[in-house]
Structure 1
């Protein structure tokens, strides 16, 4: 609990690489990530609650705090100790007391209270997995205006949807696709995120109930915003009884669909915003691209690597790209990336020497884990710095490398899906990796 609180307090401070504490000295993982991600948009997470005191301890600790700047709890007159539990677990949480009934009223109150550039709504009952938040943020930073979770996209699922509700949701989804020209796989799912600028053209202040999610999505589509879906898994409610009423709330959703189809766009074509909005990756670092310094380019590359690793994407097709980006960011000549499953077995491996990908036999990989630095990192869950590969007993010489002293680093990488990666990078001469390099790489490292 203290770990979560300390990390949340750090979010209020401007990250600075030169002042960060080294991972090797016991610093938290998130402090390193904040240094790399200091230019990302400000993110606000909104959590509507009504008597969720038992559920919050099972949800709040799993918020990916390194991706979040502000957590807002909007309480709808709970009769248990929901607010007290939230403040105990997360003292920096912002609490908004909403007197009006309904999920829509709570969400609108959260929108008004949020200060972030990106707003994300997460249910408090455990049905939304907060660990999926990086996936939503990533989609927004890649160009979407609004991102909605889908339980029926590839890789998604649900354990909390009776047949009658699934049938109704399918009917509503197909109807909306036909009437609005969308291509969605899910409609009545409230896990969503969007840039604040969406509220300039999408007004849902007139929608107090569960139908607010449908109204939000349809009005965004009508205003020609870029709405995309990401796979999301809906779990069962941990404690308590859900507030959704299938027939009454389904009727309200149907009325919203009909009403929105008959409405015209709020924005005249001549007044529609022209241009891209959201993140400007290059301009964050310098007024013009030609004055970006080498360290800042390295930060940009590591930032990209971190997003790929933590956003939950499959690495089967991305391993070579991740490894090449790592080599480029750290000016290394060769390296390897080993992916291990939750049982510690090697699931995949990629090795690069210069510009060429090197094939690795099962025996080679086994030797690396038994005798090499990768195995040492796996057993100790620490970064390894090797000043001279000819003198350090942790280094296992590789058959394709010349017999000359080199320097190397190895990093344990925490992946989003409970797997572990071990990234090893090599430079051509001894004593070329420094503690400053470790401070950069600790942003990718898992906590000890």
Structure 2
């Protein structure tokens, strides 16, 4: 795996730490800013919504810019956003800094994912994406607890300074190790109108929906895992950080395993991972009053849910080969759409007085819908594959199409050659 891919993963670690660390510093932040906990929680929503909006918008806006230059600019803006957050004199300034940081984060992820897959062969796309997703996993294991620790002993602003430092380290790595890429010219020059044509393909929409549903299923539970552990399973609050870290360990294991097997068994990885998450969430809903079961299932859910992430990312790039930048942006937006939808639906279940186990049931239903969506995608994939096989065996008396068209057809068949 090229060193540049690991540099991008390191940068994603900084981005992911910033995205998730507020869960550990929400209370001191709210007290210092003189706002309620729900108001402070809006900073999390602002980041997620900024990711959803920013990924496709910035991908389109920077389409014709050199990717390395774009990565440097976005990581610089993100780092400055962390500095602004650390120095924020008011809640309004902090809110604005979160939105700006989210936009830069979304753009970096979209462009960075396109760069990562461009540096490896088609058969190693899932492994490249596993490195980037691994940055998020490590952010959950180390970054979020470290942010909480800094917030407890040095104030919540110290957590923002810490992420700013990580961003600077990532920026140095991008400048030094990510290769320059020539800006395409002529017919090869990226065109937004041409890239937007990917959204005419049903497979792109099925990949987007499956990604969003998988994310929503996990975060419907994860967002309320703390009260479920304490109020339902009966664990003390001191156990919560350890269980969250255990989930992160499971996520790292899942990302590694998924990245290893997804390139050769893409649909199989998706089916197994999402189906396992469905079963685990249902079991957690049924056994939520057992501390042992709750802790063990949290670990398994981390493994199963993140094992699908490299496959879901690679799948989007495979079905959107004509628009690699928008493919990365679409995946980013889909993940964060799920991260927004899941907690909202889980909150509705709690507000309906169905108890904290209801968030696990909510996640199980969303995961089951993701399995159905993946099944539809697999059926369409098999149908198209059979059509191509029949067409390739049709005898002809003359060569049809230009050599360029023939090469394009070969590239499309290679990039869409997932196995079950």
**TM-score range normalised by the length of the shorter chain:** under 0.3
**Larger proportion of helix:** 2
Query: Normalized per residue, which structure has more strand?
Result: 1
Greater RCO, CA 8 A, separation 6+? 2
Q: TM-score, normalised by structure 2?
A: 0.25
Computing the radius of gyration over CA atoms, which structure comes out larger, 1 or 2?
Answer: 1
